[in-house]
Structure 1
Amino acid sequence: VDAYGIMALVSPHWKAFTRTETVYKKLCERCYLNQSRRKALHVSRFGGSYRKMLETRPRVRTGGVYVLKYSKVKKIQRDMWTEIPVGAILESVYYRYMYFKEDGCVLYALTSAPPHEMLPRFVKMTLTGVKDKSALWARYEVQRHNVTVWASHPWHDVRFELKLLSSDQKVSGVKGVFTAMSFERHMSSVSGNFDEYESTDLVKFDVPTKPFRFLRDWRL
């Protein structure tokens, strides 16, 4: 969807084609009727302009991945068997990836592989359909700025609650609209019941304070 804005810069002929309300309407239908919770456009709330809707209504970005890097320095327990030299730092680093598609599916991965290693694997998975041990397909839903992701592992189900950050919420090194998401909640349940009052096996986890950042990759 976001490639249409770049296409308008190719030539005046492309601009005349891409910058029309008919095209913006199709783009809004592709985005919001699939990923929004209520499956409705309500263009009247945006002054009757589909272009304004596409520019201001919250949506997840496609054509790339959202990446969250988490690092933690572990305290070294020293005893007579410790082989780590004095002065060394033991740091644990992992990445969470979310590759959103327009049809309501999201490819989620939790791995120690950095983006320059993981992105080619995402491309391979999307083009060939092969499975990756670190990734699985999940589903998502957008309601205003809130994004909910459900993923199913063989041993339990996982639910992530994210929030799209607006342009006035500055994130260092991030440009563009809806290119950052805060990590609000992370829960798991063996039964798949995430109701906080009824579920008997709901587990809540601590979440990183740093946000997901959108990383553009034209191969996706």
Structure 2
Amino acid sequence: MRYLESDMYGVISCCSLDLRRLGGDEVLFRQLCELTYAVQSRRGKLRVERWGHSWRNMYVNRPRMRVNGLYFQRVSYIKRPERNMWYDGEAGNILECIYYRYLRFFRTGEVLYGISLQPPKQAAVLLTDVSSADVHQDVSVGEFEVLPGRRVQVSVRTDHGRVVLDLDIDNGERGSFTRLKLNSHLQFPYSSNTGEARELPILANVFKYRRLPIRTKPKFGYGRHI
């Protein structure tokens, strides 16, 4: 239970008629619900009666964070270059700045938060486990909590202060709970005596999901059929 990804139970149930009943086994889904919602929700209460007394229905439809991949957003903005002695571009050029923001959730209730210039496939190695925050300076560790109303709150300890993200959980093109919408991005500086939050600008508000490991589609030559 603790080592097999939850998505794999659906794959296994399609392998044979003997394993088909695994896809609807209530005992299995009760264990999945206990492993997931007892940690991710604020009170840790399951309340299966709200889901028709079906553990499978609860696990499939109750909002949760996926822990077998990473959420990312691509942030881009336009700026004019600073024309100084190091600038060798032409006059009138504009620059497009691109970077990525990442969130990696774990079953323990911990989360990794990172900012990188590398796209998801290359940046995935920076977010392997919680100890990554000790190795990579652009990765920070924190906690997350799934709140009522399909919301999740992320609190991360960075070098300059505590960062709090408030996001909506939604379904995306890769399945249920594979899309996050950023509502607010706050920073509580360690140097502040009043403890007031500083609201950071939101340049991109959508996080997409990619399951790990990230693989690219094979490329075949012309005229080859599979």
Q: Same fold (TM over 0.5)?
A: yes
1:217 aligns with 2:206: no
- Give the one of 124, 128, 133 matched to 2:137: 133
Deviation, 1:87, is: 6.2
Q: Would you say 1:68 and 2:63 are equivalent positions?
A: no
> Structure 2 vs 1, CA of residues 128 and 96 (structure 1 numbering), >3 Å: closer, same or farther?
closer
| Unmatched segments (≥5 aa) in structure 1 | 194-198
SS of the residue 2:177 aligns to: coil
Question: Could you tell me which of 155, 161, 177 is aligned with 1:150?
Answer: 155
Matches within 5 A, 1:166-181: 167=171, 174-181=173-180
C-alpha deviation, 1:128, in angstroms: 8.3
Pick aligned residue for 2:201 from 190, 199, 206? 206
Q: Distance in 1 between matches of 2:213 and 2:191?
A: 35
Greater RCO, 1 or 2 (C-alpha within 8 Å, sep 6+): 1
* Structure 1, 26-35 or 71-80: larger mean CA deviation: 71-80
Match of residue 181 from structure 2? 182
Cross-structure match for 1:118: 123
Aligned CA RMSD, in angstroms, stands at 2.7
Runs (5+) with no aligned partner, structure 2: 1-5, 215-226
TM-score by length of 2: 0.82
2:220 corresponds to which residue?
A: none
Which position in structure 2 is the counterpart of 1:22?
Answer: 27
Q: Determine if contact 2:72/2:208 at 8 Å carries over to the other structure.
A: yes
Which amino acid in structure 1 is aligned with residue 146 of structure 2? Answer: V
CA contact (8 A) 1:62 1:100 kept: yes
Once the 2 structures are TM-superposed, how far is the Cα of residue 82 of structure 1 from its aligned partner? 4.3
What is residue 113 of structure 2 aligned with on the other side? 108
Q: Is the 8 A contact 1:61 1:178 kept in 2?
A: yes
SS of 1:109's equivalent in the other structure is strand
Q: Which amino acid aligns with 1:190?
A: P
Identity of aligned residues (%): 28
Question: Do structure 1's residue 92 and structure 2's residue 97 form an aligned pair?
Answer: yes
Aligned residues: 208
Q: Is the 8 A contact 2:130 2:141 kept in 1?
A: no
Distance 1:15 1:149 in 2: 37
CA apart distance, 1:120: 2.5
Cα deviation, residue 7, structure 1: 2.1
